[in-house]
Copies of this chain bind each other. A is one copy, B any other.
Amino acid sequence: MLEDKNPQRTNLENLGEFGLIKHLTQHFELNQPSSLTGIGDDAAVLDFKDKKTIVSTDLLVEGVHFDLSYMPLKHLGYKSVMVNLSDVYAMNANATQITVSLAVSNRFPLEALEEFYAGVALACKTYDVDLVGGDTTSSAKGMLVSVVALGMADSDDLVYRKGAKPNDLLVVTGDLGGAYLGLQVLEREKEVFKVNPNSQPDLEPYSYIVERQLKPEARKDMVELLEKLAVKPTSMIDISDGLSSEILHLCEQSEVGCNLFEDKIPLDPTVISAAEEFKMDSTMIALSGGEDYELLFTIDQNDFDKIKGNPNLTVIGHMTSKEEGAHLVTRANTKIALTAQGWNSFAE
């Protein structure tokens, strides 16, 4: 389907572990002033001076987090980095270094891993982060990616999940639900392909949501925008598991409640039409879909004028006292309790 039929195959056994990692990482440069030494010693050495160091890590497993039948390896490399950078930006910090570890079975030729690292390299270049370490090993079955992202920030700039106060506004960047619906499109085309391998899928009408799934972008630009607008969020998290779950994290750690307004949730027109096509509720998808990698944060009401009218930022609700709980206020003006798996329409 979307798979690149690479005619060249170099067996990994021919290279050995040291040869492999050297080969794959030879063109990566260190550009961050804080990267003193990278790959090639027992460990990397970094210098964050008087800044705080930020560390996040994520594991991506074939068959659980990605399906190589429609996820090109270059995209997988790119996305693996994004997932981690997103966590660093969600601290209102700047990402500076990553390490990438890979376990692959022998069915992967060297050229496949080169594709993967091309995606990593593109992510490094675009987001100005250095690859400083990693490990390549064999696996009995399938592919597994482990990425660690490091970043830095001044103490005063850091934004945690705790910190939201009642009456703070709840704001989200970009729009939601696209990544999940993109996955539905890809899954459907995979089934069609299984039945008729000669079918040519027309993904053009779905290009926005397919790209949201295959090539998400971490919102470094939004962290920079907030700095430019002189807005420091009171709490922040990235949206990896769906809006509902992330709101509950902010509420729990900030010890507040929340009213989320259904009619404020930003949805791309493609999301709305694809949701209709799949007979799914677009609000439900935004709440539970996940993988959008947008930022969700709270701001003091006094900062509203600073963000007002910015097309990238949407106020979707406000925080309340803890006792009031976390609710979705529907278009019909009824309140439904938010649950980690999206809202449970049978709860009330």
Instruction: List CB contacts (< 8 Å) of A82-103 with chain B.
Output: 86-88, 90-91, 93, 97, 99, 101-103
Do the beta carbons of A57 and B158 come within 8 Å of each other? Answer: no
Do the beta carbons of B238 and A42 come within 8 Å of each other? Answer: yes
The residue in A16, A18, A86 that gathers the most chain B C-beta atoms within 10 A of its C-beta is A18
Alpha-carbon separation in the docked complex, A300 to B49 (Å): 31
Closest to A149 in B: B43
Alpha-carbon separation in the docked complex, A138 to B148 (Å): 18
Do the beta carbons of B56 and A87 come within 8 Å of each other? Answer: no
A50-B49, A101-B146, A141-B142 known; A44+B56 contact, CB < 8 A: yes
Do the beta carbons of A137 and B55 come within 8 Å of each other? Answer: no
State which size class the interface on A falls in: 35 or more
Do the beta carbons of B59 and A103 come within 8 Å of each other? Answer: yes
Do the beta carbons of A91 and B57 come within 8 Å of each other? Answer: no
Do the beta carbons of A45 and B158 come within 8 Å of each other? Answer: yes
Do the beta carbons of B41 and A45 come within 8 Å of each other? Answer: no
A37 on the B face (CB < 8 A):
yes
Do the beta carbons of B48 and A43 come within 8 Å of each other? Answer: no
A46 on the B face (CB < 8 A):
yes
Do the beta carbons of B101 and A57 come within 8 Å of each other? Answer: yes
Do the beta carbons of A133 and B56 come within 8 Å of each other? Answer: yes
Partner pick for A58 among B41, B102, B135, B142, CB 8 A cutoff = B135
Partner pick for A41 among B46, B149, B151, B160, CB 8 A cutoff = B160
Alpha-carbon separation in the docked complex, A151 to B46 (Å): 10
Instruction: List CB contacts (< 8 Å) of A54-68 with chain B.
Output: 54-59, 61-65
B-chain residues with CB within 8 Å of residue A340 when the two chains form the complex: 16, 18
Partner pick for A161 among B18, B42, B58, CB 8 A cutoff = B42
Interface residues of A (CB under 8 A from B): 16, 18, 36-37, 40-50, 52-59, 61-65, 86-88, 90-91, 93, 97, 99, 101-103, 132-135, 137-142, 144, 146, 148-151, 155, 158, 160-161, 236-238, 253, 340
